[in-house]
Amino acid sequence: MKVCLLSYSDGRGGGYAAAYRLHQGLLQANVDSTMLVGYKTRDDITVLSKETKLAQARAKILPSLDALAIKLLYPKRVPTVYSLQWVPDTLSSRVAQLKSDILNLHWVYGGFLQIESVAKFNQPIVWTLHDMWAFTGGCHYNQECNRYTKSCGACPQLGSHQDKDLSHWVWQRKAKAWRDLNLTIVTPSHWLAQCTHSSSLFKNARIEVIPNGLDSWQYKPVDQRLARERLNLPQDKHLVLFGALNAASDPRKGFHLLQPALRNLTQSGCCEGIELVIFGASQPSHPADLGFKCHYLGKLNDDISLALVYAAADVFVAPSTQDNLPNTVMEALACGTPCVAFKIGGMPDMIEHQQNGYLARPFEVDDLAKGILWVLEDKDRWIKLGNRAREKAELEFTQELQASRYLSLFTEIVSKYRKEKAKLS
């Protein structure tokens, strides 16, 4: 079977990394897999893109074109990721040249794949959703707005009060272009599956839940003292880890909620011996005063460094306000590091409350602080939490298991497609 995975990039970002890990898992399972991207970052001959400088420059500038169009129309909009997908592309002809049996879409936004182009592909399509964009009027996370269950419009993220606004136009384009498509949807979390089921666009689609996977030999427990020595981190402190892409600047990642939780620990006198480690952001010129030392590691772009950071930490905190199945939590668990998060999105799929971490009541910073302290205060409990964290990753989130589940789905869909095609011939 020939499989083609389509993604804007093969980079370290959440959806990109998940797609590339699946691609690697399929190759290891002897599947003829190719990944087609707009912006290539890895030295991997099985990842294809247009290598010309002009093509790479175009891929880089496309997200800015989307953003510019929105900014001109809605100058007062909420600064969140929003995609129109209006720029024409040539992907259908490039995919046709690969002659794949099935096409697996991943994070195809940022101007990479035009909405209308999805209907131009000639093979069965499985679309892996890494956020909510595919069934909204342009936003990637709805932030409690449920207008995607109807036809969008009056979009709060655009600052719009008009029913026939840009979000409704995007929704209409999707409804028209995808009306007769036989799409199979995959969501990595049960939460995103429920959201997809409730959407007006995909309420009748087949929806499967397949968690993302990772290389459990790269992400594994290592000696904490050694990890800290290599990263020049203190040996005699409890290290609380926080990190994400644009960790401190993306409101959805919840750094604004982590800060008061940590201040609560300071005020209660429980912060003695605790220090904070942040990756995904450099130290700002005026860092927040949290009452204890903070280590900023900047952006980490390789798996070895990331695995060391997780291993060096005593607890990983993911205070996101909305999230699907974040790679950071999965990676931390695989490294044997207990995790603390709010009980939202896909977090319950990974974090078992008081078994491998702590699920705080949504957006209650006191409970988030309580969870951090609960993980740290008992050494024997911390060891058990870490062991269960690793066990959870090995049982549910390996690259091999992810590839096996996808291959089973692909095989079923292609077999059915071929039978139906034979009947018509």
Domain shared by 79 and 200, yes or no: yes
273 in a domain, yes or no? yes
Q: Is the pTM of this model over 0.85?
A: yes
Domain shared by 319 and 414, yes or no: no
Burial of 276 (0-12, 13-18, 19+ CB in 10 A): buried
Domain shared by 38 and 11, yes or no: yes
Domain shared by 177 and 229, yes or no: no
Task: Please list the pLDDT of the chain residue by residue as tens digits (425 residues).
Answer: 999 999 999 988 889 999 999 999 999 999 999 999 998 989 999 999 976 666 667 767 777 777 777 888 888 787 788 999 988 888 999 999 999 999 999 999 988 899 999 999 999 999 999 999 999 999 999 998 999 999 999 999 999 999 999 999 999 999 999 998 989 999 999 999 999 999 999 999 999 999 999 999 999 999 999 999 999 999 999 999 998 777 777 889 999 999 999 988 887 766 678 999 999 888 887 777 777 889 999 888 789 999 999 999 999 999 999 999 999 999 999 999 999 999 999 999 999 999 999 999 999 999 999 999 999 999 999 999 999 999 999 999 999 999 999 999 999 999 999 998 888 87
Domain shared by 363 and 406, yes or no: no
Structural domain that includes position 360: 224-396
What CATH code is carried by the domain that includes residue 334? 3.40.50.2000
Domain shared by 242 and 345, yes or no: yes
